[in-house]
Chain A
Amino acid sequence: MGKILAVGAKEMRQILRDRRTLLILLFIPAFFLLLYGYALSFDIRNVRLAVQDRDRSTHSRELVSAFVNSGYFALVGYEDSDAALARLVDQGKVRAILSIPANFERDLRLKRPVTVQVVIDGDNANTASTVTGYARTLIAEFGAVQMAVRTPGLESRIPDPGPRIPTITIEPRIWYNPQLRSALFLVPGLIAYISMITAVVSTALSVVREKERGTMEQVRMAPVGPVAYILGKTLPYLAISFTSAVLIVFAAMALFDMPMRGSWPLLLFSIGLFLVGAQAQGLLISTIADTQQVAFQIALLSSMLPTMILSGFIFPISSMPTVVQGITYLVPARYFLVALRAIVLKGADITAFWQDLVALAIFATVAMGLASLRLRREWA
């Protein structure tokens, strides 16, 4: 134990000497949450819309204002020529086109079905499918209102609505996040992501730096075993990462109304377990690499994109192909995110996610064990 503390104290002195690194590790994560928490959103508003109005009637203007007043679309302007419209989309100045045919008003008065065309820039498939949904809903609502309008003198020509038909309505209830705010989904993901990167990069250079500078030989001669050395290297960084993770959680609650429906001790325990695992991953990388450059490369490639894309932070794991779903079991953030969301959003107790905590513990133990083994072999 004394040896672990000695290594820890030495590492701490080294950290304190490099103020920039310390400040980055402690405070930048919370600052990032602030910035990205606002920037990251799936809620789509103000889609830039161009209108091709071939009817220029009261009704066509009503449809356009229905689009604009919904808040989902922002009118860029009217344009008649197809070529000019295509160019606007190519340049990205417009993301959607609403095209209203001639005789729109006349057909509506006669209650004849009319078709309006909506063109959507599909380059971002996710946005495009949401915008498609908005457009459908707006047009359906507009149609329903027009159907209800009675045109004087024309009643006789309107078909009879017919007998009663069964209707099935849905009574939706949404739990945990009733307003479907994407921030409540993304902020826990950001917490996991930022903590993961901070933890991995903090330890990834710690061992290899000694190798590169040649001080490793001195450590080897000292009466410190590989396990004590590894633990001592982790402790100071664990303290820093833990502080910064707790700061992020507080920031999330203060700024983004992230609720806290579960137990605090459980949350802190899960955070600790996750950080130990992430730092163990960093240490393992550090023992494998021979130069800091390689360590840096492996650390980033193994944490930055996988944590973002394979953890369920942004992309739902259940929609991925089976093989890729298998790979996600290697990403510790996957387990942490289940626990984090269950605790803060769902207020669930440990029975709902104990398997994920066990998986995190296994990950941390295996990574620590492998790192110690690597060192032992190198020192032998």
Chain B
Amino acid sequence: MAKNIMRLVVIGNGMAGIRTLEELLKMSHEEFDITVFGAEQQPNYNRILLSPVLSGEMSFQDTVLNDWSWYKENNITLHTGKLVTKIDRQRCVVETDDGLSVSYDRLLIATGSNPIVLPVPGASLPGVIAYRSIDDVEKMLALAQDKNKTGKRAVVMGGGLLGLEAANGLSLQGMEVSVVHLCEWLMERQLDKAGGDLLKKALEKRGLKFYLARQTESILGEDKVTGLRFKDGEEIAADLVVMAVGIRPNIVLAKSAGIHCERGIVVNDTMQTYDPKIYSVGECVQHRGQTYGLVAPLFEQAKVAANHLAEYGRMRYEGSSVSTKLKVTGIDLFSAGDFNPGPEDEELLLQDAARGVYKKLVLRDNKIRGAVMYGDTVDGPWYFQMLRDGTDVSEMREHILFGQSHLGDAGRGGAASVANMADTAEICGCNGVCKGAIVKAIVDKKLFTLEEVRAHTKASSSCGSCTGLVESILANTLGGDYSTKTSKKSICACTDATHEEIREAIIQRSLKTLPELMQALNWKTSDGCAKCRPALNYYLLSALPGKYDDDSRSRFINERVHANIQKDGTYSVIPRIWGGVTSPSELRSIADIADKYQVPTVKITGGQRIDLLGVTKENLPKMWGDLVAAGFVSGHAYGKSLRTVKTCVGSEWCRFGTQDSTGLGIKVEKMTWGSWTPHKFKIAVSGCPRNCAEATIKDFGVVCVDSGYEIHVGGNGGIKVRVTDFLCKVSTEEEVMEYCGAFMQVYREEAHYLDRTAPWIERVGLAYVKQRVVEDAAGRAELYARFLESQRYSQDDPWKERAEGKDAHEYAALATIE
């Protein structure tokens, strides 16, 4: 064998081990000589779908992730039904029970976990089954479906996630099911007592029986199981006993080879064990003191392990915090984080027994530490996101328990429960994706993660406001084991770097161009992609005003040609109309220009301007030349930039007006126009609290009152309407200008590209924004100064430049041939 081919042996043919191989094959161009050992007879199947197989909603074949041909196609030698009995670390060889030995350069241990079998008398009787593998499920099904059997009584030991799913499955198969649990309430690791009691009530309605706070003394029976006796002497009859009291990392083999183990096989952040040639992933692993039994952390580990097996040496696994959803059809339950409050913690509670709704949030220092939800879980992913982001929630404490949807949810009728939605219900309004299409993709294409669903269905890939719904659908479809990943999110597949890391690198390592930036941060692609390039271009532009050469090739088409592309490939042209105030002569010029270029549609926009639609690209520079000659500049209606400053007439005419809102609006627009921002930015100034300019759904809104100016931030219309948060009140126009510039500048410097102000504020918390813009007067002055400095370079009218010939190649065909 050629020397450069690495021999990789994998012990364990389950989800973690095989996922690692998939990641490895995907990322590495090197050849590997791969051998896989599996103790079970089957190819790799989806263990988290055992419950639907048990309840009859799926067949085993539906759960197979990699069929036999996959191993063949990838040249992987697969040994199923073979037990590895020895790892000889000196000689780098593994040996099996039937005498086979295979050498390795790298070894991956993915032996998973074993079900815990309680050491009670009778535990080894026929009819006592663990709940772990497809074999176990088949045994249970055989018993449940046996027509000749008289007894159909099942006892499930364990009232945790797995036990309840098993109980529900058996009950659907027509058995009488009792659940025995040591603790006072069900799922005590995921639920507090109140939540557990609600769950119990719901399951009792479905015919399950519970024996809580009971200890089993022995399992009864002679040649097969007949019943169960508790410590207090009571006995119950049983034809089947399922042990689902928990799992334990399977570390026997690793231990016998002298690899350092505690509760699991101890690994570092690269998933390497104490033997540098041996890696380990999955449920057998102990990482930073934690063991994991859910699928998302395993997949993250797989990615990291593959990266190091491929000798890229780039990624680290930093642990996961997990959320859980029980999937017993029709029962919605969600929990995340640490939900048993300590002495320093606060508890927020909402309980509505009639609706069967229970929500609890545990806070410390105004940050969410844990959440338990029952009955209405649609906001679970939202809370979980804030938990992960460490968002300061002090400003939303009053309404946080009512969820995100009270803020409005256009287009999907505010549906609260994904489980009860029809297949035809539209989930992603941006891309028109229905629930049925998402479920079908998850099942048919065997998807596990939000990213995969996005790639296959496009759902949640545009504005992202349906992300919570899509995650709920994933959880509902995949069952109890779904959990979202928690480690940092890179900005796209070209890199492992996050938005924050990129911005930090630009400043700290004084990176000045796109290629420099990509090289410094180890971009995996030659020149990025359509996701990262516009983001990087913006970050450089905002960090280096006046010094960075805008890369037009990294601009989305609208910003490259300074007009909005329409569905037929023509463009729309919107000249700036300061504060929405115009004049007969301006209107006459627009009318003449519209005539001259035969503009098919002229429309008044929501931002108090005039939209000229259907202009061909060749005509744009000429038309702009005419507009510029008539005194107009670009309206930037096409950009991630300041759009409009909407105003009402204010004190000049209105009998209610308190201040000169039009005049102030024009001043604000003259100051801010031309600035590039992470996403579009809209401003409005209303002359009195009647708020005719709708300032409270803008990114920055001013409401004039007799005594001064109220400043509101973080609002938007659109898919998810969000009303602004009140920032502060100031007394002069000069202050309004300063606060406006300072607020825009924090947003420009710190928000993720493509975040509007609303999601940005929801992530960092309003308290933070107040601290930067209101409380810290010196900091505010600096932000304002930086904003004005940056504006010195951004107020050259792009239309004028292009009318004079800049970028002419963008607007003309290369050639015309007959």
A and B interact physically: no
Residues of A within 8 A of B (CB): none
Residues of B within 8 A of A (CB): none
